[in-house]
Chains A and B, each alone.
Chain A
């Protein structure tokens, strides 16, 4: 898993996507391959669970040119970041 995550971080388009859940440990990563239906389904399930928990999802790229807030799982996404909603402090 560590090797796969490292590969997913290093290679711009490795044929899959990554969900990054920001939490108190820093983050927790989950990856899926676009060709693997089971992995896509698992990622979709995780996406729905996180939305139910109150997290907000952002589809992001390393360059930042296609970043967008999303509410539905996109299997083509490069990276999806889950974070708690923003608040004024």
Chain B
């Protein structure tokens, strides 16, 4: 890769023959066939040449003023330290994944303590379960994350609205959301106890909400 691009300058806005393209050859406007490309590029409807003004050159000037990139050279000690740092980072990620996995399993166990047999079966087989809200409407909680995973169902079972409503990040902790099983549990409890609050809080991703009584 070239470290410097060939520079070209135009001294005034009317100059027509001072281009130096990348192959470093000079061209003029006196009918030389090798400059056809440039002529076509610069020709206007009145067959005059449009030239670059000096402002356009600034890009190239600045490009050529940039320092040449020098890749860093590390000592063996530095390389060893970098590898150790990467290993520490990997261990942190693995520990976090292990902790999250354990939390998900624990949350799922808690959720299942509150599901009846039919809900448990539905969750296991189809990754969802149904809840009757406090106003009698039927909802489907899909085991697909905790955002936009609640469907308000019509009497015929089709989806009337897709809703997003889940617990906030845990106060005082590391801005993490609850594990999914916990979120589904709270979605279910809120629907069973205060369906209107759930609907007022939720964002509607698809469809529309029923009119509130």
Contacts and interface: CB of A to CB of B under 8 A. Distances in A.
Contacts of A88: 164-165, 201-203
Contact of B178 (A9, A64, A84): A84
A53 to B, nearest CB: 5
Interface in B149-191: 164-174, 176, 178-179, 181-182, 185-186, 189-190
A86 B198 contact: yes
Contacts of B105: 26
Interface string B101-124: 011111101100110000000000
Interface of A: 9, 20, 22-27, 53-55, 58, 60, 62, 64, 67-69, 81, 83-89
3 closest pairs, A vs B, by CB? A26-B106, A89-B164, A88-B203
A69 B134 CA distance: 13
B125 interface: no
Contacts of B203: 88-89
A27 B190 CA distance: 18
Contact of B190 (A25, A54, A55, A86): A86
29 contacts: A22-B170, A22-B182, A23-B173, A24-B103, A24-B176, A24-B178, A25-B99, A25-B102, A25-B106, A26-B102, A26-B106, A26-B109, A26-B181, A27-B107, A53-B171, A55-B171, A60-B114, A67-B193, A68-B193, A84-B168, A84-B178, A85-B167, A86-B166, A86-B190, A86-B197, A87-B201, A88-B165, A88-B203, A89-B147
Contact of A20 (B110, B172, B197): B110
A87 B165 contact: yes
Interface residues of B, number: 42
B94 interface: no
Task: Report whether over half of chain A's contact residues are helix, strand or loop; otherwise say mixed.
Answer: strand
Interface of B: 99, 102-107, 109-110, 113-114, 146-148, 164-174, 176, 178-179, 181-182, 185-186, 189-190, 192-194, 197-198, 201-203
Nearest to A68: B193
Nearest to A29: B110
A49 B189 CA distance: 22
Contact of A84 (B109, B167, B192): B167
Contacts of B169: 84
B161 to A, nearest CB: 13
Contacts of B147: 89
Contact of A60 (B173, B181, B189): B189
A81 B189 contact: yes
B107 A62 contact: no
A26 B108 CA distance: 8
Contacts of A84: 167-171, 178
